[in-house]
Chains A and B, each alone.
Chain A
Amino acid sequence: MITLTINGKEIRLDKPVTVLKAAQQAGIKIPTLCNHELLKPFGGCRLCVVEVERMPKLMTSCTLMAADGMVVRTESDTIADVRRAILEFLLINHPLDCPVCDKAGECELQDAVMQYGPPTGRFIEEKRKVRESHDDPILARNMERCIVCTRCVRMCEDVQGASAISMIERGGRTVMEPFSSRSFNCEYCGNCITACPVGSILSRLYMHSYRPWQMDKEVETICGYCGVGCSFVAQVRDESIKRVIPRIGFGMNNGLLCSKGRFGYGFIEDSGRLKTPLIRKGDALVESTWDDALDLVAEKLTEIKDSYGGRAIGGIASARCTNEDNYVFQKFMRVACGTNNIDSISRTGYAAAQKYFEGLLGQGINANIIGGIKRSDMVLVLGGDPASVNPVLGLSIRAAAKAGAEVAVIGHAPGLERYKTINVLPPLFKEADILEALLLEVFRARGNRGESHAIDRAVSEFDKEYSGKTDMHGLEELKDKLLKSDSISIVFGMDLVQRTDGHRALFATAGLTHLLEARLYLLSERPNEQGVIDAGCVPDMLPGGRPLGIPDFRRRYEDAWKRPIPDTEGMTLMEMIEGAKKGDMKALYIMGDNPVFNLPDRTFIKESLASLDFLVVQDIFLTETAELADVVLPALGWPEKSGTYTNLERRIQLLRKTVETTSGMDDWSIISRLSCRMGYDMLYTDAENVMDEISRVSPLYRNLSYKEISDKECLWPYNGEPLRGEAKDIKVIKEKSRDYDADLYLALDKPLFHSGSISQRSPGLMDISPEPRLKIGTRLAEKMCLKDGDNVIISADRGSISIRVSIDPCVNGKVVLMSNNFKEKGALGIMGYNLDPVTKAPGIEGCAVTLRRG
């Protein structure tokens, strides 16, 4: 225990901290400029000087550790004189243009000068002139205002790990610049904006459009881009989000954001937003009223249900919708339409993986706190780039690496290129081979854990069956390091699920997770992929992950919903689409997703949907799928909704309505109105009311209220009961992997600046990344004499796309990467697929392509 006195107040410390922190804990404010909560002490600005008894000189409190018996004074005439002198120096070159500076009102320099002076400067020399740089698409750089605290550079290097900017020159000429001195060409997390104490780094997105004290409201909410669910404060004026700011200590992102979160909210104000329901009249979709549209949907669905039975109706839910939306949706499908045909696009990745892992390792296996990654001594990253799919989770991996953890990457993860310590290079599309080999090596070295019988049996059986080779490049080193590590995190990306033999990688990963007692994290591209499952939007499970096949569980929900639930499992996503093509599926109800764009083989998907008797799409834009619909219903974007999301840690968080709109209706509200018209009353008053029902009915969420979710961390297993019970035996099928001998393959890229098809409607993200690029390796570029930005035509069996290339040294020579985020230029559209027989996820590997200049 350390006891010290600050300003006459006795302070007891449990653990050693700096004098500055000790003062802050006691509520004593010491002015600082170069100090930042997320950064290491720097001692550069000297503003935090204090007097310490028996120390001859003033000391910088940010670097001085508190010691027992210390007597500190934070304010005195001497200290005020020194602070005034420091500020006078800082103002020698500062332009004092507060009236036109966006930072005015929340500027740390302004605050310090207001408190300590000087009222006038004594320096008569001319001030340094540096042109404000608008060379970057989104970050403005004003180096006249810069006080060289280096917080931005340290943030970029130590926290974000991007190292895109540095201090250039020295002495009075020092400025912060990105490498190119013009555009930042960085990850555009904008955490340098948060770090800057003055107005030197500003977002051009909202520059000169607000004053921090003139906001109408501030809403504490969460980001709806990916499965991390970062918290931020959205500042609103005239029902328009001006900017979002993260705060230290608020949410698990603790003051950090990524490019999508910080700059991606603009899509809600896109002019293409749907405003009224649309009904098909011949070839055209014409504007209609809610009553007419809902009457028509109710009538058609009832008709199809009566003539073909519920099995001819299917529903596709969305991981961008809230738990409340999805719960109401599955209830409507099961009870009002009489079908268990409910799934979501998450079947192509997260839902498939999650189900497999839970089946083998038990419910809640992926409920691990992101912060745990930082404390690992080894991180194994498989099949995806955390730094672009879930950027803020990626930061934890970088932090672990900086703290000395081993990082091994199997797959394409350019965002971890500088951080990986072990190089494993599996042949193209053969990550499963390496994982299986690794599993066996670990099993042979360590043996069974002997707790969970099903997985132990499966691994032993697999060991007997296995005949493949286990001597692959880097494998030995990886195995040794894994066996030496005490605390392992496995970060699993969905690239490995989107394989025809995706279950092999899943089995091997499950085995490794079990044998190594690792923490498992599933990368999640959309904000509520876990929530979709927990809300029951899967064909084989009721809400709370209760298997539909068990009559007791079914009865529980039948009692609550007062209607029978069909007892046969429904069709999965691709089965429904294929069913439509075959004519078994007559009507599809799609809520908040765009299968035509987001699933492989566009022509096939379009034909399938066109074969339906009736298609309803509920969305915020007239998407490629909505264009085919018979009825289109306008919904709300996430900043316009209230509800909850469950993130990839299975943390439930509140999404608060940030702006009001007249464009559409809450998804749950549309569905419940429709349900009433179909003779099954759903009379919810608001989203909270829906949550009350969920927490009453779902055993997972017992007594969970919005108040509780908002007041404290709402983590697995909440107040509920996870499903217990022995996992079923998994049949291990020994398979040989396919050979891939074409010259060139197309694979799906998950870019940092885009997500789904909403980011292309966000001006901020479009400024940063205005067009899709085909990423090609250095060798291929040389062979074809291609430079960055050259146009090519990429052709596959199912179509061609004209696109510009960008050269990426991390790309394997036999593959080119393309994203699926831009209209008419989505990779998935020209890729074929084969269903994985176990997970039912579409495998998209092995799409042979040719490339020519064009």
Chain B
Amino acid sequence: MLKEIEDIKAKYPDTRAALLPALYIAQKEFGWLSLDAMKAVANALNLPESDVRGTASFYSMFRLKPAGRNLIQLCTNISCMILGAERLRDLLKDRYGLLPGGTTEDGRFSLVIMECIGACGTAPAMLVNTDLYENLTEHNIAEILGKYK
């Protein structure tokens, strides 16, 4: 991770500018940004620790609480909602015990309800980690999630 941060540092005029990508790298490494992870980023970029935490807490794409191995981001905006996203949300709760903002007991999945991902034509849609899934139904969602351990 430190090597990766070192590499991206070179692409930016100063270390502060490299903070967002560095936080991404740390999040990829640890799954979420613990205080220790943020400290490591601060050290790597020679920035004050409090600055790193301030920045990380500002953006919703950084997770400051422990998260599962796989992150499900489900859209519930208008198109998805009309086409049944709320039912999918209930299904995740009933079948996996997964609440929005929560993590499954086995640490396999975390769920975040996200705003529009721009897949309205193929709604409902979700992201699992960085993979996009469209035209979700109560049937195919189980199959998709089965691929992630």
A residues with CB within 8 A of B: 157, 163-170, 177-180, 418
| Chain A CB within 8 A of B48 CB | yes
**A169 touching B51 in the complex, CB below 8 Å, given contacts A180-B35, A418-B46:** no
B50 touches A164 (CB 8 A): yes
**Chain B residue nearest to A809 in the complex (CB):** B43
- The residue from B46, B48, B49, B57 contacting A168, defined by CB atoms under 8 A apart: B57
Q: Which residues of chain B come closer than 8 Å to A179, judged between CB atoms?
A: 35, 38, 49-50, 53
**Chain B residue nearest to A161 in the complex (CB):** B48
Q: Which residues of chain A come closer than 8 Å to B13, judged between CB atoms?
A: none
- Measured CB to CB, the closest approach of chain B to A170, in angstroms, equals 5
Q: Which residues of chain B come closer than 8 Å to A157, judged between CB atoms?
A: 48, 51
Q: Which residues of chain A come closer than 8 Å to B46, judged between CB atoms?
A: 418
A168 CA / B64 CA spacing, docked (Å): 11
- Measured CB to CB, the closest approach of chain A to B34, in angstroms, equals 12
Q: Which residues of chain B come closer than 8 Å to A167, judged between CB atoms?
A: 54
B48 touches A163 (CB 8 A): yes
Q: Which residues of chain B come closer than 8 Å to A163, judged between CB atoms?
A: 48-51
8 A Cβ contacts from B29-62 to A: 35, 38, 46, 48-51, 53-54, 57-58
**Chain A residue nearest to B47 in the complex (CB):** A163
- The residue from B38, B48, B57 contacting A169, defined by CB atoms under 8 A apart: B57
Q: Which residues of chain A come closer than 8 Å to B38, judged between CB atoms?
A: 179
8 A Cβ contacts from B55-82 to A: 57-58
Nearest 6 A-B pairs (CB), nearest first? Answer: A166-B54, A163-B48, A166-B50, A179-B49, A168-B57, A179-B50
Q: Which residues of chain A come closer than 8 Å to B35, judged between CB atoms?
A: 179-180
Of B38, B46, B48, B49, the most chain A CB neighbours within 10 A belong to B48
Q: Which residues of chain B come closer than 8 Å to A166, judged between CB atoms?
A: 48, 50-51, 53-54
A164 CA / B54 CA spacing, docked (Å): 11
Q: Which residues of chain B come closer than 8 Å to A177, judged between CB atoms?
A: 53
- Measured CB to CB, the closest approach of chain B to A371, in angstroms, equals 26
A168 touches B53 (CB 8 A): yes
8 A Cβ contacts from B108-130 to A: none
Give 21 pairs: A residue, B residue, CB < 8 Å, sorted on A: A157-B51, A163-B48, A163-B50, A163-B51, A164-B50, A165-B50, A166-B48, A166-B50, A166-B53, A167-B54, A168-B54, A169-B57, A170-B58, A177-B53, A178-B50, A179-B35, A179-B50, A179-B53, A180-B35, A418-B46, A418-B48
Of B38, B50, B57, B58, the most chain A CB neighbours within 10 A belong to B50
**Chain A residue nearest to B60 in the complex (CB):** A170
Of B35, B38, B46, B58, the most chain A CB neighbours within 10 A belong to B58
- Measured CB to CB, the closest approach of chain A to B3, in angstroms, equals 20
**Chain A residue nearest to B59 in the complex (CB):** A170
- Measured CB to CB, the closest approach of chain A to B22, in angstroms, equals 16
**Chain A residue nearest to B56 in the complex (CB):** A168
**Chain A residue nearest to B46 in the complex (CB):** A418
A2 CA / B35 CA spacing, docked (Å): 51
- Measured CB to CB, the closest approach of chain B to A167, in angstroms, equals 6
Of A164, A165, A166, the most chain B CB neighbours within 10 A belong to A166
Q: Which residues of chain A come closer than 8 Å to B49, judged between CB atoms?
A: 163, 179
**Chain A residue nearest to B50 in the complex (CB):** A166
Of B35, B46, B53, the most chain A CB neighbours within 10 A belong to B53
A418 CA / B51 CA spacing, docked (Å): 14
A178 CA / B35 CA spacing, docked (Å): 12
- Measured CB to CB, the closest approach of chain A to B112, in angstroms, equals 16
**Chain A residue nearest to B58 in the complex (CB):** A170
- Measured CB to CB, the closest approach of chain A to B91, in angstroms, equals 30
A418 CA / B49 CA spacing, docked (Å): 12
A716 CA / B46 CA spacing, docked (Å): 41
A167 CA / B35 CA spacing, docked (Å): 16
B50 touches A169 (CB 8 A): no
A168 CA / B59 CA spacing, docked (Å): 10
A179 CA / B46 CA spacing, docked (Å): 15
- Measured CB to CB, the closest approach of chain A to B58, in angstroms, equals 5
A157 CA / B51 CA spacing, docked (Å): 9
Q: Which residues of chain B come closer than 8 Å to A178, judged between CB atoms?
A: 50
A179 CA / B53 CA spacing, docked (Å): 7
A177 CA / B64 CA spacing, docked (Å): 14
Q: Which residues of chain A come closer than 8 Å to B57, judged between CB atoms?
A: 168-170
Q: Which residues of chain A come closer than 8 Å to B50, judged between CB atoms?
A: 163-166, 178-179
- Measured CB to CB, the closest approach of chain B to A135, in angstroms, equals 14
**Chain B residue nearest to A184 in the complex (CB):** B50
Q: Which residues of chain A come closer than 8 Å to B58, judged between CB atoms?
A: 169-170
**Chain A residue nearest to B49 in the complex (CB):** A179
Q: Which residues of chain A come closer than 8 Å to B54, judged between CB atoms?
A: 166-168
Q: Which residues of chain B come closer than 8 Å to A168, judged between CB atoms?
A: 53-54, 57
A164 CA / B49 CA spacing, docked (Å): 7
Q: Which residues of chain A come closer than 8 Å to B51, judged between CB atoms?
A: 157, 163, 166
A363 CA / B1 CA spacing, docked (Å): 57
A418 CA / B53 CA spacing, docked (Å): 18
- Measured CB to CB, the closest approach of chain B to A663, in angstroms, equals 43
- Measured CB to CB, the closest approach of chain B to A681, in angstroms, equals 61
- Measured CB to CB, the closest approach of chain B to A123, in angstroms, equals 25
- Measured CB to CB, the closest approach of chain A to B2, in angstroms, equals 15
Q: Which residues of chain A come closer than 8 Å to B53, judged between CB atoms?
A: 166, 168, 177, 179
**Chain A residue nearest to B55 in the complex (CB):** A166
**Chain B residue nearest to A169 in the complex (CB):** B57
A325 CA / B125 CA spacing, docked (Å): 82
A165 CA / B53 CA spacing, docked (Å): 9
9 extra interchain contacts, Cβ-Cβ under 8 A, other than A165-B50, A168-B53? A157-B48, A163-B50, A163-B51, A164-B50, A166-B53, A168-B54, A170-B58, A178-B50, A179-B50
- Measured CB to CB, the closest approach of chain A to B115, in angstroms, equals 14
- Measured CB to CB, the closest approach of chain B to A750, in angstroms, equals 23
**Chain B residue nearest to A167 in the complex (CB):** B54
**Chain B residue nearest to A180 in the complex (CB):** B35
Q: Which residues of chain B come closer than 8 Å to A418, judged between CB atoms?
A: 46, 48
- Measured CB to CB, the closest approach of chain B to A182, in angstroms, equals 11
A744 CA / B38 CA spacing, docked (Å): 33
- Measured CB to CB, the closest approach of chain B to A794, in angstroms, equals 28
A179 CA / B40 CA spacing, docked (Å): 13
A482 CA / B7 CA spacing, docked (Å): 33
A178 CA / B49 CA spacing, docked (Å): 9
Of B38, B51, B53, B54, the most chain A CB neighbours within 10 A belong to B54
**Chain B residue nearest to A171 in the complex (CB):** B58
A210 CA / B2 CA spacing, docked (Å): 51
**Chain B residue nearest to A186 in the complex (CB):** B50
- Measured CB to CB, the closest approach of chain A to B21, in angstroms, equals 19
- Measured CB to CB, the closest approach of chain B to A415, in angstroms, equals 14
- Measured CB to CB, the closest approach of chain B to A520, in angstroms, equals 30
A157 CA / B47 CA spacing, docked (Å): 11
A490 CA / B98 CA spacing, docked (Å): 62
Q: Which residues of chain B come closer than 8 Å to A170, judged between CB atoms?
A: 57-58
A170 CA / B35 CA spacing, docked (Å): 19
A168 CA / B33 CA spacing, docked (Å): 14
A170 CA / B55 CA spacing, docked (Å): 10
A303 CA / B51 CA spacing, docked (Å): 68
A179 CA / B49 CA spacing, docked (Å): 6
A684 CA / B122 CA spacing, docked (Å): 96
A177 CA / B50 CA spacing, docked (Å): 8
Interface string of B86-97 (1 = CB under 8 A from A): 000000000000
A418 CA / B57 CA spacing, docked (Å): 23
A177 CA / B54 CA spacing, docked (Å): 9
A178 CA / B51 CA spacing, docked (Å): 10
